[in-house]
Homo-oligomer: A and B are copies of this chain.
Amino acid sequence: MPTRRQEILRTASELFAERGFHGVSMNDIGAACGISGPALYKHVRGKDELLAEALVDVSEELLATGRERAAATDDASDRLDALVAWHLDFSLRHPALIVVQEREWSNLGDAARTTVRRLQLAYIDLWVDVVRSLRDDLDRAEARAAVQATFGLLNSTPHSARIGPARMRELLARMARAALVD
């Protein structure tokens, strides 16, 4: 059972994903939770905090669980499969959070932006290490670009959920592997 605060954060993330940070008002968020705008301030410091907390949470979970899953095996190829599977788990379960994370980080305050940036870079590095151990023809910068392109591919989920999660999962996993390791 989620606390009220968590319910507000989740609702806000969904609205941010649909209409953008500036396209959603505190009244909108309140209404979507069944309460009125100002009541939100009993649970949250302000609108900025909603976005910041959502983004930091996402980045932390991606990194922490990503590390955990990658550490479960020693084989580089299995490790890549584990990362792909984990990223798909997340983006299929929380499409709204994925959308917000990739497009709203410029609306963060300085402190939160720095934190999110650091977490995202660490997550990318986790992938880069695996990719580089499978592809010695790529330097670090190229591997990073390749990983970011793969995120673009995996994150396409929210924009075209026409074929059911299971087949989508299989399709995207195969495409991601093919794109990364030739």
Enumerate chain A interface residues (CB-CB to B < 8 A): 18-23, 102-104, 106-107, 141-142, 144-146, 148-156, 159-160, 162-163, 167-168, 171-172, 174-176, 178-180, 182
Contacts and interface: CB of A to CB of B under 8 A. Distances in A.
A44 to B, nearest CB: 21
Given A19-B106, A175-B179, A159 B167 contact: no
Given A107-B23, A152-B156, A153-B153, A144 B171 contact: no
Total identical chains:
2
A144 B103 CA distance: 23
A159 to B, nearest CB: 6
Contacts of A102: 159
B174 A145 contact: no
Nearest to A22: B22
B168 A159 contact: no
Nearest to A161: B145
Given A18-B106, A149-B156, A179-B179, 18 more contacts: A20-B20, A20-B21, A20-B107, A22-B23, A23-B106, A23-B107, A103-B103, A141-B163, A144-B160, A145-B168, A148-B156, A148-B159, A149-B172, A150-B175, A151-B156, A153-B179, A175-B180, A178-B179
Contacts of A153: 149-150, 152-153, 179
Main secondary structure of the interface of A (DSSP, over half): helix
A145 B173 CA distance: 12
Contacts of A149: 153-154, 156, 160, 171-172, 175
A145 B174 CA distance: 13
27 contacts: A18-B106, A19-B106, A20-B23, A20-B103, A20-B107, A21-B23, A22-B22, A23-B106, A102-B159, A142-B163, A142-B167, A144-B160, A144-B162, A145-B163, A145-B168, A145-B172, A149-B160, A149-B172, A149-B175, A150-B153, A150-B175, A151-B156, A152-B153, A153-B179, A176-B179, A178-B178, A179-B179
